[in-house]
Structure 1
């Protein structure tokens, strides 16, 4: 900061730059455990059972997104004040923020999410249901009951078992079509194979490919945000180790001789 007062620098760590746990090692699993995620996921299945690890490492992914938001805020702050910022992003802080709804519910009522669900009997028609050839998720509420009855074509649904029986007699696509037609949110619970082959996913350009010098053609999910009038392109694959050292150091004012000296002394590759 003495050299460049308006510099913006982000530090991503397990527990932040200060506090009792600041020096502890961490991974996504540690932040997810301490923030309540694994216990809450287990509670969805059985409150008396073990905690459950979700399929993806949100403790790594979500803090990265928060870091981007923090950097954008720091850029605005610099534009307004001319001051730089040290952006401190903690995995644990981010995962607690992502648990905002259940934590707020607990602080305000003293009740855990599964206890709320037990009280709200109108939610018994929401969740995963097994069809004859797969699974669907139906997301309904008491206010959608008329639509749910219309979509299922029955006069009444007295229990979750009634809806389970209705879904079990139909294919996934038939269940989804019957419900979304009347405005009840429903979707197939896809395998990854079904995700990458979905026509809507293809239409949105969500699977792209790029040629990599070591790995060959690599296919992966695209950037999810679309812009009006601009179509972002994948210009290059992930860089090799040290691929842009010379370009970056040149931009910072290093001479060719200085860069070569750094390379010879193994400061850079």
Structure 2
């Protein structure tokens, strides 16, 4: 058994925020029907390079546990198919620009009239209300618009983007949160509802303590590299053979670190006793620590601080993370069978449930791989399916 067994999701989303959301739902057992444009499919199928045995690595990363079908959403027959699917669908997910679904005849009001229990999740760049609602939204744009780039990078450098598409995936996780909440509410009311998730809203929420600090002081945070505005020392330092992270988040850890490293003079210095003092004298303390660590080997520092219970660690490259024994022990690398990709590996499940665990039931589907299967479940005959294929209402079978 999986927690979302019996929940059907009709997924009209593409790129990352929506597909990441539906993948997470599929991991927990939901039946995800991924609707794609005939012949072209989700645009991430063409996000290359890199490819893996000819298939986009970007697409492979966020589309497991789904069935793919191709439908021309602008055709009358295509609309008929969507309406038929909606009758027995629990969740509808889309991330088109504002107004597109309504023009196609798939707005919330139209679909809710067909199925009052339908949960309709709309993911967009700026949300479905407000003066910016018609703007296109992409991760990079929202990293800038939402303030993230203003606090990312070195203090004397230019704004930088986070190395991964954090805005998209964050919105996808909030969409999952909204959908699961709406499913619980439906058990009480018997009715579905509309969920409006935006990349921008998710980014504003991530500002969290930085937003509250601004309201408290009137001063917006700026770029600090790896440093923290409220904790010192809490950043990366160079050793004689690399770099190390010190995450000293309270005064007790500071005392332990000084004892472990033989820095009794720093521990007794009035400028550095309390965290507020260390923040006030940040530059002096950081210079002192950097000077001392630059003469030490990273492994020596790790051993001394680990033994004292002081949080510290390396800055791993992606390959070092993916091959780390702890990551492997946590089963965070999935190996999946795929008809084309040999030895497919993707990131695993970040949430471990003891009774209803996540599972990799399906590999990322080929374009339109399940079109005939899903249409057959709706009661359409093979002859009718072939007529639609001839008229290009649905796409060709995958080779």
When normalised by structure 1's length, the TM-score is 0.88
Higher relative contact order (CA closer than 8 Å, sequence separation 6+): 2
Shift of 1:241: 0.8
Residue 184 of structure 2 is aligned to residue 76 of structure 1: yes
Is this contact kept in 2: 1:14–1:92, CA < 8 A? yes
Q: 1:31 aligns with which of 142, 150, 156?
A: 142
Residue 175 of structure 1 aligns to a residue whose secondary structure is helix
Larger helix proportion of the pair: 1
Residue 370 of structure 2 is aligned to residue 216 of structure 1: no
d(CA) in 1 for partners of 2:188, 2:205: 27
Residues 153 and 252 of structure 1: is their aligned pair in 2 closer, same or farther, counting only changes over 3 Å?
farther
Shift of 1:115: 9.9
Shift of 1:222: 0.8
Structure 1 counterpart of 2:239: 131
d(CA) in 2 for partners of 1:264, 1:170: 71
| The 10-residue stretch of structure 1 (152-161 or 72-81) with the greater mean CA deviation from structure 2 | 152-161
Is this contact kept in 2: 1:152–1:166, CA < 8 A? no
Structure 2 counterpart of 1:21: 132
Structure 2 counterpart of 1:150: 259
Shift of 1:121: 9.2
Q: 2:390 aligns with which of 261, 264, 269?
A: 264
Residue 104 of structure 2 is aligned to residue 11 of structure 1: no
Shift of 1:90: 0.9
| The 10-residue stretch of structure 1 (190-199 or 153-162) with the greater mean CA deviation from structure 2 | 153-162
When normalised by structure 2's length, the TM-score is 0.61
Is this contact kept in 2: 1:126–1:138, CA < 8 A? yes
d(CA) in 2 for partners of 1:105, 1:128: 23
Shift of 1:230: 5.2
Residues 265 and 51 of structure 1: is their aligned pair in 2 closer, same or farther, counting only changes over 3 Å?
same
d(CA) in 2 for partners of 1:167, 1:252: 67
Shift of 1:35: 0.8
Residue 212 of structure 1 aligns to a residue whose secondary structure is coil
Residue 172 of structure 2 is aligned to residue 51 of structure 1: no
Structure 2 counterpart of 1:227: 353
Q: Deviation per CA, 1:199-233, whole angstroms, max 9, x where unpaired? A: 11111111222232223222221111112255544
Q: Deviation per CA, 1:168-201, whole angstroms, max 9, x where unpaired? A: 2333333223213222111111111211221111
d(CA) in 1 for partners of 2:241, 2:348: 29
Number of residues of Structure 1 aligned to a counterpart in Structure 2: 264
Structure 1 counterpart of 2:295: 169
Residues 106 and 263 of structure 1: is their aligned pair in 2 closer, same or farther, counting only changes over 3 Å?
same
Structure 2 counterpart of 1:240: 366
d(CA) in 2 for partners of 1:121, 1:214: 48
d(CA) in 2 for partners of 1:105, 1:261: 62
Shift of 1:91: 0.9
d(CA) in 1 for partners of 2:113, 2:356: 39
Shift of 1:239: 0.4
Residue 335 of structure 2 aligns to a residue whose secondary structure is strand
Residue 156 of structure 1 aligns to a residue whose secondary structure is helix
d(CA) in 1 for partners of 2:304, 2:378: 60
Task: Kindly report the root-mean-square deviation, in angstroms, between the aligned alpha carbons of the 2 structures.
Answer: 2.4
Q: Deviation per CA, 1:6-45, whole angstroms, max 9, x where unpaired? A: 1112111111112211111121011111110000114xx2
